[in-house]
Chains A and B, each alone.
Chain A
Amino acid sequence: MTESRPIVEIGQIVSEHHAAVYRYAFRLVGTVCDAEDLTQQTFLAAHQNLGQLREPAHARAWLFTILRNAYGKLKTKRTPLLAESYEIDLNSVAEELPAEPLVDPQRLQEAIDELPDEFKLVVLLFYFEGCSYREIAERLTVPTGTVMSRLARAKARLRAKLFEPEEAPISVSAGNE
């Protein structure tokens, strides 16, 4: 009995998803050159492992997974800001949020760049991929409580950068999650 698997052309995948992959890569790395480099690595890996894609409708999520793995390898070459030392007091975050929020994409990128990698991935999985906290926990293999904690702190930090004239107080300490 022959296995019927949909034929997926890498050219079609590039055509349909290169923009989304590049945008995601840019939000992760913050520069045009690095984003294109990461995008290229993603599609090369996808090309080599095309047989793993069983359902073409899931190509986008599959590419994002490859992208995150490639980014994970890149980040080991940098000096990371440890999430444990990045504490924000949620009780200090104002409850009054802007009624009609206007987000400057450049300022958003600056805010993302300042996040430790553990927080950055959680935020992008939430905002870019639209994952629930449970899905994020599964993909990053961390407990749901950790995801909720990181998500709350990272989102509060983004808002502080985007909407508040002065940054919310951040204390550097041996944090707990």
Chain B
Amino acid sequence: MDHEPLSSEVMSALEACRPGRQDEVLPEVANRVAQAPPAQVARMRRSLERVDRAIMAAMEQVPVPAGLAERLLERLAAADQGSHELIAHEETGSVLTCAEPAAGRAPTWAKPWPLLAGGALALAASLLIAVAVWPRESLQLADMQTQIRAFYAADGHSAAANSARSAGGSAPTGLGGVSPESVVGRHAIELFARGGIAYELAHRRTRGTLYVVPLKAWRGPTLTGLTAIPTAHSTSGTTVVAWTDNDNAYFLVAKGDSRAVWAFFPRNAVS
């Protein structure tokens, strides 16, 4: 009888064998397993195979969200249209590259970005309060607002048309009128206890972050004064824009003045 437990060395070798394969004949495994009684090894191998097969089957049991393929194709089509921006972004060290970043090539904009992103939530929160008390006439970017209005009127788009589309049942995916070509990354976030999405934006050398938060069951400050027209405020070299489409609140934070923010809206809105 072989009641002695198998050593960790033998166990490591057996654990490395895949079910249904002849991995036990490989030298690293065979040398280790040779130390143990063959019958005990065979019994353990059979047990491990049974469990491994069950885990392999369970690994595949993940429900795929409805419409995932369509959303991916839409995003790829948008990337095609904005391929120039994407290629330029890759050259500066994008996360959207297949290969690991080349050693010694530091991203040209990724380093200051965490600092901006870190302050973005605080800025967005401040803006929520700010837009509630500021009369629109006092804002500096009346020309931009006019252009955005023109865009909505002329292009047939509306904020509602770009409203949130549920991803996974809870997170919004609408861009609120921001050009999809500008989007180079996406992350789940939480703002005022609501799940949302932060989109990383890039247009030439301008970088920004668009925070999209669903208004349903909003637990943040009252959003009185937040309108469908993007309203901007620039301070300390950073511009924040806020607007809503009644489904989501949108907060766009960009480094630079108001012209930087405008870069993220469709070009035909400028003309």
Nearest-neighbour CB distance to chain A for B89, whole angstroms, equals 10
Contact A37 B187 (CB under 8 A): yes
Q: Which residues from B are CB-within-8-Å of A151?
A: 12, 15-16
Q: Which residues from A are CB-within-8-Å of B99?
A: 49, 69
Q: Which residues from A are CB-within-8-Å of B1?
A: none
Encoded as 1 (CB less than 8 Å from any A CB) or 0, chain B from 178 to 192 comes to 000000011110000
In the complex, which residue of chain A has the Cβ closest to the Cβ of B46? A97
Alpha-carbon distance between A160 and B106 when the two chains are bound, in angstroms: 42
In the complex, which residue of chain A has the Cβ closest to the Cβ of B186? A37
Q: A103-B54, A103-B57, A148-B12 are in contact. Are A14 and B72 (CB under 8 A)?
A: yes
Chain B CB within 8 A of A10 CB: yes
Cβ-defined partner of B18 (8 Å) among A72, A126, A158: A126
Q: Which residues from B are CB-within-8-Å of A26?
A: 62
Contact A36 B68 (CB under 8 A): yes
Q: Which residues from A are CB-within-8-Å of B58?
A: 103-105, 108
Q: Which residues from A are CB-within-8-Å of B60?
A: 23
Chain A CB within 8 A of B155 CB: no
Chain A CB within 8 A of B6 CB: yes
Encoded as 1 (CB less than 8 Å from any B CB) or 0, chain A from 1 to 29 comes to 00000000011001100110011001100
Alpha-carbon distance between A74 and B188 when the two chains are bound, in angstroms: 12
Nearest-neighbour CB distance to chain B for A6, whole angstroms, equals 18
Encoded as 1 (CB less than 8 Å from any A CB) or 0, chain B from 15 to 46 comes to 11010010100101000000000000000100
In the complex, which residue of chain B has the Cβ closest to the Cβ of A107? B58
Contact A52 B98 (CB under 8 A): yes
Contact A69 B12 (CB under 8 A): no
Interface centre among A73, A98, A103, A108 (most CB of B within 10 A): A103
Chain B CB within 8 A of A61 CB: no
In the complex, which residue of chain B has the Cβ closest to the Cβ of A163? B51
Say which one of B165-173, B205-213, B234-242 lies at the interface with A: B165-173
Nearest-neighbour CB distance to chain B for A93, whole angstroms, equals 7
Chain B CB within 8 A of A155 CB: yes
In the complex, which residue of chain B has the Cβ closest to the Cβ of A73? B95
Nearest-neighbour CB distance to chain B for A48, whole angstroms, equals 7
Alpha-carbon distance between A101 and B58 when the two chains are bound, in angstroms: 11
Q: Which of A113-170 contact B (CB under 8 A)?
A: 124, 126-128, 130, 132-134, 144-145, 147-149, 151-152, 155-156, 158-159, 162-163
Q: Which of B69-86 contact A (CB under 8 A)?
A: 69, 71-73, 75-76, 79-80, 86
Nearest-neighbour CB distance to chain B for A50, whole angstroms, equals 10
In the complex, which residue of chain A has the Cβ closest to the Cβ of B189? A33
Alpha-carbon distance between A76 and B197 when the two chains are bound, in angstroms: 19
Contact B167 A33 (CB under 8 A): yes
Alpha-carbon distance between A32 and B66 when the two chains are bound, in angstroms: 12
Q: Which residues from B are CB-within-8-Å of A48?
A: 79, 86-87, 90, 96-98
Chain A CB within 8 A of B52 CB: yes
Interface centre among A10, A32, A44, A148 (most CB of B within 10 A): A44
Contact B168 A32 (CB under 8 A): yes
Alpha-carbon distance between A155 and B96 when the two chains are bound, in angstroms: 31
Q: What are 19 inter-chain pairs, A to B, with CB distance below 8 A? A: A11-B73, A18-B68, A19-B64, A33-B195, A36-B71, A39-B68, A41-B186, A48-B87, A48-B90, A66-B98, A72-B100, A97-B47, A97-B50, A103-B58, A127-B59, A132-B23, A133-B16, A148-B12, A163-B51
Given A72-B100, A127-B59, A148-B15, 11 other A-B residues pairs in contact with their CB atoms under 8 A: A31-B188, A33-B168, A33-B195, A43-B76, A44-B96, A69-B97, A96-B47, A132-B21, A133-B23, A133-B28, A152-B8
Chain A residues with CB under 8 Å of chain B are 10-11, 14-15, 18-19, 22-23, 26-27, 31-34, 36-37, 39-41, 43-49, 52, 65-66, 69-70, 72-74, 89-91, 93, 95-105, 108, 124, 126-128, 130, 132-134, 144-145, 147-149, 151-152, 155-156, 158-159, 162-163
* Closest CB pairs A-B (n = 3): A32-B168, A103-B58, A90-B8
